[in-house]
Structure formats: C-alpha cells, structure tokens
Amino acid sequence: MIRNPILPGFNPDPSICRVGEDYYIATSTFEWYPGVQIHHSRDLVNWTLVRRPLERKSQLDMRGNPDSCGIWAPCLSHADGLFWLVYTDVKRLDGNFKDAHNYIVTSPTIEGDWSDPVYVNSSGFDPSLFHDDDGRKWFLNMQWNHRTESYGGAPKHPAFDGILLQEWDAQTQSLKGPIKNIFAGSLLGLVEGPHLFKRNGWYYLTTAEGGTGYDHAVTMARSRQIDGLYEMHPDVHLITSKDAPDAVLQRAGHGQYVETPDGEAYHTHLCGRPMAPKRRCTLGRETALQKCVWRDDWLYLAHGSAVPAVHVPAPKDVEPLKQPIRIDYSFDQPELPKDFQWLRTPEPARIFSLTERPGALRLIGRESIGSWFEQALVARRQEHHSFRAETVLEFEPETYQQAAGLTHYYNRHKFHALVVTWHEKLGRVVTIFSCPGDFPHARMQFPIESGVAVPDGPVHLAMEIRENDLQFFYRSSQEADWTPIGPLLDAGVVSDEGGRGEHGSFTGAFAGMFAFDVTGRAKTADFLSFSYECI
C-alpha cells in the first residue's frame, strides 16, 4: 500500500521517471542548496533521497535570488543512455517580471557527476523535455506575459500565456524550428507545469493550473499531433481538491505520469496538508502518488474521483518501512548528513566546516539571518506537524552583532530563533528573535527583550513544535533539566500561507542551526550535535 504523501515535507513539483525497475522523482528546491532533490524507489512505496545534482558554482549560483526563487519545477527523463534534467533558475519574484532562465544538465547515472548546464531559453518557467519515439526531442515551458497587472503573491491569469513547444537539437545543444503555443489551458487558468507523454498514437499533455494554492489542479489534454490541436479531458482536471475542502490532501496539482513495467498507470502530484483552524501548511508542498486507470484512451484516478486518496494500491505487496521516530545527527564525517541543506551559495566552505573542529559543525558567521546572499544557516526539512529539535552549541560572542542558535525557519519574513548572543550589561545571553510573517519589511520582534544570562560553556537549545504552537527551551551543561524560555509562539506562520499568503511563498518549514556576524569578523560557532524527533 502507498501512503501519501510519499515524500513528506517540502518536496514540490514532482517529476517522475522510470528506468527498468527503478523509479526516480525530482522535486524543486528553490533557494536551498544543492539544487534539486532526487529520490529513488523500486516499489513506489519506499523512497530514499539519493542525489542533489546541482552542486557546483558552474551549475548553480543563487546568491541574490529572492525568497522562493531559484530552482523551480525540474523535469527528469531518461533517453539515449543519459538522464536529462531540465530546470529553471528564477531570479525575480515580485513585480511584472520573473527573469526565469532554463537549463539542461545530463549524466549517465543518477549518483554520478552531472554536466555543466546548457542554457535553453528564458521565455517562462516550468520547463520539460519530451523524447519522442522517432528520436526527436521537444522542449516545453509556460510563457510568462509581463504586460498585465500580475505581481508576486497575487498572480493574474493573463500572465500565464500558454504552453510553448519547440524542438531541441541534442547535437547542436540548441532549440530549432518554430516556436508554437500549443495549449492555453482551461477556464481555471494559471496554466504551467507541462509534461508530455505518448500512448496509442496520442500525445498527452498534463499541466498544472489554478495556482499552487487551494484551487490547484492537474489538467489533461490530448492530440494526434504533438503541436495540437489539444482536446480537453472529459473531466478537464485529472487530479484536484479544489471542490473538496475536507479532503486530507489539499492543493493537489503539478505532477507527471508513469507506467510500471507491467503497464500499471500512476501519476504524481504535489499536495499540502493544512492545519486547523487557519489552513496553513507548515510542511510546504509535498509529493503524493495516485493509481490510475485508462478508459477510452483517457486517464482517470482508479478510485473514481479526481480528489486524491491518502491510501493507494501499490504495484507490489509492499508495506512502507517504519521510519525512525528520532534521528540523532553527528558531525564526525567530512560531509553534511544528507538531510541538511543550506541557502543559495555555491561556496559552502565560506559558511561552514566539518573539519576545522573535529566532531562539530562549525558555522562561520557571515551576513544576517534572512540574507539573500551569504548566510550561515544549515537546516533540515520539517516532516511532521509536531516535532522536537535539539542542539548543543559552543559559542562565545563578543558583541550583540554576533549571534548563533536554533531556528524554525521558512524565509526572512517567517522564522523564530533561539539565540545565543552578547548583551553589554548581562554578558552572554539566550534570547529570542521572531519574525512572524512581517511582509515586506521583515521586522523582528524580541519576545523576551534582552534575554537571560547563561554561564560559560556549551549551551543546550531545544524547540518543540506542536502543530501551531512553538516553545523554546534551554539549559547549561551543568543543568539536568530543560527550562522553557519565552512565550508560546505562532509556529503556523512558518508556512506557505503565513505572512503574505498562499501564492507568495513556495518552500516549507525547516529546523536548523545558524550563525551571523555582521561585524565582518566571521566569528565561528560550533554545533556539537543535532536531533530531530517526531512527537
């Protein structure tokens, strides 16, 4: 049995690819580095993160990318003995423009090194590459029309100006031939996320529509010719929860078709699991998988409704492996544990080290928390609505401009942080920085003002998130018991819908460690351990 979501936490825009008995799903990573997550499975039930291929400066540099820009909607495919990964690096969110640059990288294996990118175009985002059975390759992306009142956070339908198709020449590594707008979408609007596949002489086009909030949907159309005309699915939308507000899996849309070796049909999609009472998705947009059937050369969900199911039949009699309730991370290896990422920079040696202090993650204080350029913040995804995270920090600040600690983080407008810093009267203190969705100014609040003095030595920091509530804790190494610090904070604001609203942020909540030194002296902070526990 498949239990959705199959990839919990921030894993949106799933592109699925099968090679033999192996399935791979690529998901968007936005401003988090390295770029693109690729998970692997052999049964469609159990999935393992195996690669983040965009890992070098020559492939990806997102310094300066605004929040929720960066890597949008990758498309993973396999042909000619190669894996092909197509993706967008979005450089602007607000205003009329997106500045969305599309690239292709390749590799003979998922786990190996991927090529430097080949630039394709910038006419819109959500690119995909279709390998036809005659050997020709076709590049698709949505077209962005800046000549409307569309702006970040409140998209207007006219800006989503149809799906473009053009042939890709793998020999010259360039587009060729006419550019055709092959699909304007349905009345739902906001057409994006195109994927093509071919079956029984039909070209099938699935797109994402309705925006990535609660009106989201997978729309399906077909044509005998690759460039159309495309006729709409009898139900228009293959997958959607837009008319089912009580469904567990909300915001369903943007996915891709796949067949098993035995011809069974499945379709991925993103989804969100909102929390009452404000319907906020702290886990971001997650990846789910639906069983499908064919009728009259049209695809339908197997259970008979377009509303996605939580439990779905698997192609094999396999149960999900039991996931650990608690994970204790150590920093005694030369690389970060695979669950962790950082923000934007392709030069991680400037923000952290696993060798300068053996057994510790040393963060090198750079710019402030929320910087779009170079900040030392290393974090893992929140995968449960209720969890506890702990860390042990050695840090000796000399000024209030140096700080390090534990954070529940979404972006510069949405975070809470338990901070060790310096106060000119109290000495070294533990305090709280909070930015509960203040868009666009990102003004912080200080719930306990100057904070509480702490003795020399390691400081233990913890936070418990229980759905919409966050409580911080601390203790010194001489103390056995944890001390709550500060009031209950609004954890639900650290979500897609928090702050500027459901169309203004596209990632998810993280739990992690950070340090900054805005003096420019690069003060270091050593984190001796980190744990994440579902509660």
Catalytic residues: 374
Could you give the CA distance from residue 24 to residue 467 in angstroms, rounded to a whole number?
A: 31
Q: What is the identity of the amino acid at 517?
A: D
Could you give the CA distance from residue 337 to residue 328 in angstroms, rounded to a whole number?
A: 10
Enter the DSSP assignment of 262. T
Residues with Cβ < 8 Å from 500, sequence gap 6 or more?
153, 413, 437, 439, 440
Could you give the CA distance from residue 395 to residue 114 in angstroms, rounded to a whole number?
A: 38
Rg (Cα) of the chain, in Å, rounded?
Answer: 23
Could you give the CA distance from residue 165 to residue 182 in angstroms, rounded to a whole number?
A: 7
Q: Are strands 174-183 and 326-329 parallel, antiparallel or unpaired?
A: unpaired
DSSP letters, 293-320, are: EEETTEEEETTSSSSPPSEE--SSS-PP
Could you give the CA distance from residue 469 to residue 494 in angstroms, rounded to a whole number?
A: 11
Name 379's bridge partners: 341, 512
Could you give the CA distance from residue 253 to residue 268 in angstroms, rounded to a whole number?
A: 9
The structure tokens 């929040």 sit at 67
Phi and psi at residue 348, in whole multiples of 5°? Answer: -65, -20
Is residue 83 within 8 A of residue 76, CB to CB? The reply is yes
Instruction: Report the greatest alpha carbon distance in the chain.
Output: 77
> In which order are the strands placed within the sheet that holds 376-381?
32-33, 340-343, 376-381, 510-517, 402-411, 414-423, 427-436, 452-453
- Of residues 234, 115, 102, 208, the one with CA closest to residue 155: 208
Tokens of 413: 């407008």
- Of residues 175, 218, 181, 213, the one with CA closest to residue 15: 218
Residues with Cβ < 8 Å from 62, sequence gap 6 or more?
31, 33, 35, 69, 70, 71, 89, 344, 345, 346
Sign of the Cα torsion 8, 273, 270, 320 reads positive
Phi and psi at residue 299, in whole multiples of 5°? Answer: -95, 140
DSSP letters, 98-115, are: --EEEEEEEESSSSSPPP
Is residue 62 within 8 A of residue 24, CB to CB? The reply is no
Q: Are strands 100-107 and 82-90 parallel, antiparallel or unpaired?
A: antiparallel
